[in-house]
Structure 1
Amino acid sequence: MDGYMTIKETAELWGLSPRWIQTLCSDGKIDGAVKFGRAWAIPSDANRPKDSRVTTGEYRNWRKK
C-alpha cells in the first residue's frame, strides 16, 4: 500500500521493537494507524510519539516509604 508502512518497517525506522509499535498502535498513540485484519498500516509521514513512561526512578521502592 502506498503511503503506509508495516510495523516492522516502522520499528526499524524509529529504533523500537515491533511489539512496542503494536502497543502504541492499539493504544491510539500513532495518528492515522489503521488495522487491517491482524496487521497494522502506519502512515509514512507519522511522527514518533513521545515516550511518556517515567524513567527518573522517582517511584522506585514506593512501597517501602
Structure 2
Amino acid sequence: MIYSILPIFEPQEPVDYVEMNYNGCDILAVMTEHGYKIERLYSTNVENYLDDKLYPGTVLENGLINRIVQ
C-alpha cells in the first residue's frame, strides 16, 4: 500500500481551465463536452457561495457568460 499526497496515476487527458465572468461573478471553469463546468469561484461575497447556480460542478448557461479572460 502506498500513502502519498501526490496522485499515483497520471491524468487521462490535459484539462483546459478558463477564467470568466459568469452572471457578475469571476469563476474558474473547465470546458467539457456539455459546456463549461464551474471549478472554482473567486468572490468575497458570501451570498455568491450560497447561490446554487454557482456550485462547483455546475454546467453553465452560455447566455450568462459575460466575458472570457484569456
TM bin (shorter chain): under 0.3
* TM norm structure 1: 0.25
1 or 2, which has the higher strand percentage?
2
1 or 2, which has the higher helix percentage?
1
